[in-house]
Structure 1
Amino acid sequence: MAIPLVILLICKLLSLFSQICYATTDTITKGQPLPDDGNTLLSKDGTFELGFFNPGSSNNRYVGIWYKNIVVKTVVWIANRDNPIRNNSSKLVISQDGNLVLLSQNESLIWTTNASSSEVSSSSPIVQLLDTGNLVIKDGNDKESVFLWQSFDYPCDTLLPGMKFGWDLRTGLNRRLTSWKSWDDPSSGDFTWGVEIGSNPDIVMWKGNVEYFRTGPYTGNMFSGVYGPRNNPLYDYKFVNNKDEVYYQYTLKNSSVITMIVMNQTLYLRHRLTWIPEAKSWTVYQSLPRDSCDVYNTCGPNGNCIIAGSPICQCLDGFEPKSPQQWNVMDWRQGCVRSEEWSCGVKNKDGFRRFASMKLPNTTFSWVNESMTLEECRAKCLENCSCKAYSNLDTRGGGNGCSIWVGDLVDLRVIESGQDLYVRMATSDMDGKHEHRRKVVLVVSTIASLVLVMLVAFCIYMIKKIYKGKTKTRMSREDKDEGRQEDLELPFFDLATIVNATNNFSIENKLGEGGFGPVYKAWRLWKEGTPERLTDAHLANSCNISEVIRCIQISLLCLQHHPDDRPNMTSVVVMLTSENALHEPKEPGFLIRRVSNEGEQSSNRQTSSFNEVSISLLNAR
């Protein structure tokens, strides 16, 4: 009796030892299947685990992969998501043809990797769960063998680091994400995300068959419609587009970080989640779409979505609502049409306007060339009457390559990560670079005048400070605007003092000349109602007169006598970049007037001149 008991005890111990060893393995072999009895596969570093599970409150059983050491069970891949198991009597085995299959209790097929016999042909195939979360079939006799099949090629709703998201053009394999239907139903939902291939690929989300969001084309550094820092602390990414493959992929900068991309059908958002160990929870790092302008084609064809605008949808300059009635009730689906007659190739009826910081239009009807310059791209667009816009294909290194759009411009928005888009207009003088040059000339001229005036004022202030207390004359005059008297102190210097201060009028001490004449001339022309006469003759035919007059008016406002009447630099910038109504300027503070000397008898009054200079001092905040 003792011998049979010993044998039975040894068998029990061997069985227990086998189960313990099996529970920590990362491999399935032909002779060692994985039954639904609580056993799992565990990747070598312990990050990922594969086994049978029930999602949420569901009674259905699935084979899935999840993070082993995260307390909130997070499933990243499911084998039989659309064909659940009704009991716990199934098992995973390697079939005779080398595929991994899921069999029911009666040996009927529930799921298979379905690789062709040529793809998985091996004398000793094994299934292994890698540290990346990738489940692979490979040749067990060849440690360096390529994968005969891998779960990374068949993602569910989650994109892990290292996964390729997109197309293998050689085999026609399309790797795309599809959401769960709900938190306890992992079957395929109607919220999907994938790469749309074409002349200039886009990454697109769909609600069913309706396009919901797109990233915009990749411009060398980032996607034109997705704002985010290129250099972030979590991950690096790349977008590959060649004759063999078109895919997006990200890799971690720090292996201790846990981050993933997940499709959420409940909210219809694509989340990037990051695990916070201290809080024992996932946090949302980024969500797409991020606002109303991200939703596909919110403003209709040729409509521009500006999230800070009111309303957010506006027609591009040179366009008007196709249906004003619908547009006014914020139904923007019909978009915009040209507001002026356009004639292809006709002088003064065919040109371009530059729109900055734009998400590039839908690329379905576009043409690209990688070697063209921007000027060559413009010329190419002008040759084709169907061309509606153009831009650089790649923004790196100052820009290169050419993208051309035909037909309506769809899904436009203003965004920080956007780029210059040149839209075809009805008049040639709308070319963005010419308009920009005119504005630069006007702004620079105005600023130069202000700097000159400030320099003269500063020199006077310094002289006053040096010789303060030597000679002072107090004068007063009535303030016409505020109805009060104010005292002004200006120094007077004799000839000897000036000769000494200027080193006998040395040329080395000369600061400039003609400081006050232009100010007086500008004011006189303004009072006469002809300020445009101040415009340089070289600018007469290339500038907008209304913009010139506006710049002169702003300059005069900057020269007001009282500081309260002068705009600060923030207000000046707003004035120069908007069309808001401006205050009417008063007489500039630098004009010379005749006043009576205070304190003399009326019969002996003499007239003298003084310069009403006001000094603005800058103090640190």
Structure 2
Amino acid sequence: MRKTHSLFSLSLFLISSSLSVALDYNVITPKEFLKDGDTLSSPDQVFQLGFFSLDQEEQPQHRFLGLWYKEPFAVVWVANRNNPLYGTSGFLNLSSLGDLQLFDGEHKALWSSSSTTKASKTANNPLLKISCSGNLISSDGEEAVLWQSFDYPMNTILAGMKLGKNFKTQMEWSLSSWKTLKDPSPGDFTLSLDTRGLPQLILRKNGDSSYSYRLGSWNGLSFTGAPAMGRENSLFDYKFTSSAQEVNYSWTPRHRIVSRLVLNNTGKLHRLIQSKQNQWILANTAPEDECDYYSICGAYAVCGINSKNTPSCSCLRGFKPKSGRKWNISRGAYGCVHEIPTNCGKKDAFVKFPGMKLPDTSWSWYDAKNEMTLEDCKIKCSSNCSCTAYANTDIREGGKGCLLWFGDLVDMRDVCMFQKEDNEEISR
């Protein structure tokens, strides 16, 4: 009887050990391990953290730890984007310091949140959870944040996330595209906030000396080179913060809208909105057309879309093509020059150009307090021979603040067809 009982117990153990029970957590503590097949869910069940594969046909054993929309499925953040797991034996642990630690089946560390930030002391009550906004948070109890995924964006911006830079901590929030649709490692494109001169959003291809696309500077309502933002003002609230300590941009929906911004592997910025049919719908794309590409017409030239829906270049009033033979639509175009050379010391005439994407502000000066009038701005520009143009930094309430350009004016396009309130640049 004793022998029979032992065989029965052994058989029962073998059967039960071969079964894997997937668990769904609301909170993870250092006592739990998130293994492959388990998930951590947000309180509203919209977001989940877990293990997944992107290429079921060619690389089904390549596993990633990531955060996704549960339905419809869409990955928004990946922990080990540079170092995939092989097989399904990986697991995530939360340490007593509040660090996230990803191991493979042989307990080899593949990724840790401590590689991006250092905990200064042992947490009293470390917890790992996902907020309803999709932020993966390691905290000490319910309040003190030790680490959060919103500080380390990948290719996706969710509502409430930042793009920008904190000058005190040197924390920078930017996007980097995936290499391919099936490879989340960093790709060729980045989206960041350039803080030289008046801050502006720029999209750059790795290795290129200049920008690929410039969304422009903030004018109080939107970025001057992103007319789609003006069309979306009824759907989203945009926030731009600029101070001595930090510059950042973020957005939140005005209604019960589920949306995300994605920098894809081809260098396109997509606004996706979840439809009532529970599908991701492409709302808009940037760059929108050929005129959006950086300085496609060269200096002192404006790109516009004509009645045939094709791009064309034209010189600003008072300028002429630098080279008639080589005046065409192409990157690095020769651009335009003054018809009559300016003579500093004599009275220069300024010409107003409304409805414009403002020129590149990399080499500009601006009134940080936003207190100067346009007339103040004109006087300041007139007193400096190197100043080539001026404009308000904020177009709301009739316009306020001052922005001055020094050097050539590049990367302009006609956007008056998109916006009710004009960006106005006044050039010599």
TM-score (norm 2): 0.88
Which amino acid in structure 2 is aligned with residue 221 of structure 1?
L
Q: Summarize the Cα distance change of 1:224–1:331 in structure 2 as closer, same or farther, 3 Å threshold.
A: closer
Contact in 1 for aligned 2:303/2:413 (Cα 8 Å): yes
Corresponding residue number in structure 1 for 2:38 = 39
Structure 2: runs of 5 or more not aligned: none
Contact in 2 for aligned 1:98/1:117 (Cα 8 Å): no
Q: Summarize the Cα distance change of 1:260–1:328 in structure 2 as closer, same or farther, 3 Å threshold.
A: closer
Contact in 2 for aligned 1:164/1:175 (Cα 8 Å): yes
Corresponding residue number in structure 2 for 1:64 = 66
- How far residue 101 of structure 1 moved from its aligned partner, in angstroms, is 0.8
Matched, 1:422 2:426: yes
Contact in 2 for aligned 1:99/1:120 (Cα 8 Å): no
Query: Matches of 1:306 and 1:105 in 2, distance apart?
Result: 57
Corresponding residue number in structure 2 for 1:126 = 127
- How far residue 252 of structure 1 moved from its aligned partner, in angstroms, is 1.9
TM-score (norm 1): 0.62
* Mapping of residues 95-110 of structure 1, within 5 Å: 95-110=95-110
Q: Any idea what the Cα deviations from partners look like across 1:539-577, whole Å, max 9, x if unmatched? A: xxxxxxxxxxxxxxxxxxxxxxxxxxxxxxxxxxxxxxx
* Mapping of residues 147-162 of structure 1, within 5 Å: 147-162=145-160
Q: Summarize the Cα distance change of 1:413–1:328 in structure 2 as closer, same or farther, 3 Å threshold.
A: closer
Matched, 1:193 2:195: no
Query: Matches of 1:324 and 1:307 in 2, distance apart?
Result: 21
Query: Matches of 1:116 and 1:69 in 2, distance apart?
Result: 31
Query: Matches of 2:9 and 2:45 in 1, distance apart?
Result: 34
Matched, 1:379 2:367: no
* Mapping of residues 152-191 of structure 1, within 5 Å: 152-191=150-189
Corresponding residue number in structure 2 for 1:442 = none
Q: Summarize the Cα distance change of 1:202–1:331 in structure 2 as closer, same or farther, 3 Å threshold.
A: closer
Q: Summarize the Cα distance change of 1:63–1:328 in structure 2 as closer, same or farther, 3 Å threshold.
A: closer
Query: Matches of 2:165 and 2:330 in 1, distance apart?
Result: 38
Which amino acid in structure 2 is aligned with residue 159 of structure 1?
I
- How far residue 194 of structure 1 moved from its aligned partner, in angstroms, is 1.0
Corresponding residue number in structure 2 for 1:224 = 224
Which amino acid in structure 1 is aligned with residue 236 of structure 2?
Y
Q: Any idea what the Cα deviations from partners look like across 1:270-329, whole Å, max 9, x if unmatched? A: 000012242x43211111011111111110111111112776111111111222211168
- How far residue 156 of structure 1 moved from its aligned partner, in angstroms, is 0.8
- How far residue 126 of structure 1 moved from its aligned partner, in angstroms, is 1.7
- How far residue 24 of structure 1 moved from its aligned partner, in angstroms, is 2.7
Corresponding residue number in structure 2 for 1:138 = 139
Query: Matches of 2:410 and 2:184 in 1, distance apart?
Result: 34
- How far residue 119 of structure 1 moved from its aligned partner, in angstroms, is 4.7
Query: Matches of 1:222 and 1:328 in 2, distance apart?
Result: 30
Query: Matches of 2:328 and 2:253 in 1, distance apart?
Result: 48
Query: Matches of 1:421 and 1:116 in 2, distance apart?
Result: 43
Corresponding residue number in structure 1 for 2:275 = 276
Contact in 1 for aligned 2:297/2:330 (Cα 8 Å): no
- How far residue 147 of structure 1 moved from its aligned partner, in angstroms, is 1.0
Which amino acid in structure 2 is aligned with residue 135 of structure 1?
L
Contact in 1 for aligned 2:67/2:77 (Cα 8 Å): yes
Q: Summarize the Cα distance change of 1:291–1:367 in structure 2 as closer, same or farther, 3 Å threshold.
A: same
Q: Summarize the Cα distance change of 1:120–1:364 in structure 2 as closer, same or farther, 3 Å threshold.
A: farther
Q: Over alpha carbons, which structure has the higher Rg?
A: 1
SS in 2 for 1:378: helix
Q: Any idea what the Cα deviations from partners look like across 1:350-402, whole Å, max 9, x if unmatched? A: 22111111111111110112222111111111110000000111111111111
- How far residue 56 of structure 1 moved from its aligned partner, in angstroms, is 3.0
- How far residue 336 of structure 1 moved from its aligned partner, in angstroms, is 1.1
Which amino acid in structure 2 is aligned with residue 198 of structure 1?
R
Which amino acid in structure 1 is aligned with residue 124 of structure 2?
S
Corresponding residue number in structure 2 for 1:401 = 401
Query: Matches of 2:311 and 2:104 in 1, distance apart?
Result: 58
- How far residue 406 of structure 1 moved from its aligned partner, in angstroms, is 0.5
Contact in 1 for aligned 2:294/2:331 (Cα 8 Å): no
Query: Matches of 2:110 and 2:130 in 1, distance apart?
Result: 21
Corresponding residue number in structure 1 for 2:312 = 312
Corresponding residue number in structure 2 for 1:238 = 239
Q: Which deviates more, 157-166 or 232-241?
A: 232-241
Contact in 1 for aligned 2:374/2:400 (Cα 8 Å): yes
Query: Matches of 2:375 and 2:316 in 1, distance apart?
Result: 23
Corresponding residue number in structure 2 for 1:327 = 327
Contact in 2 for aligned 1:82/1:188 (Cα 8 Å): yes
Which amino acid in structure 2 is aligned with residue 191 of structure 1?
F
Query: Matches of 2:287 and 2:120 in 1, distance apart?
Result: 39
Query: Matches of 1:316 and 1:361 in 2, distance apart?
Result: 12
Query: Matches of 2:386 and 2:276 in 1, distance apart?
Result: 56
Structure 1: runs of 5 or more not aligned: 425-621
Query: Matches of 2:38 and 2:311 in 1, distance apart?
Result: 58
Q: Any idea what the Cα deviations from partners look like across 1:502-550, whole Å, max 9, x if unmatched? A: xxxxxxxxxxxxxxxxxxxxxxxxxxxxxxxxxxxxxxxxxxxxxxxxx
Corresponding residue number in structure 1 for 2:50 = 51
Which amino acid in structure 1 is aligned with residue 270 of structure 2?
H
Contact in 2 for aligned 1:119/1:149 (Cα 8 Å): no
RMSD of aligned alpha carbons: 2.6
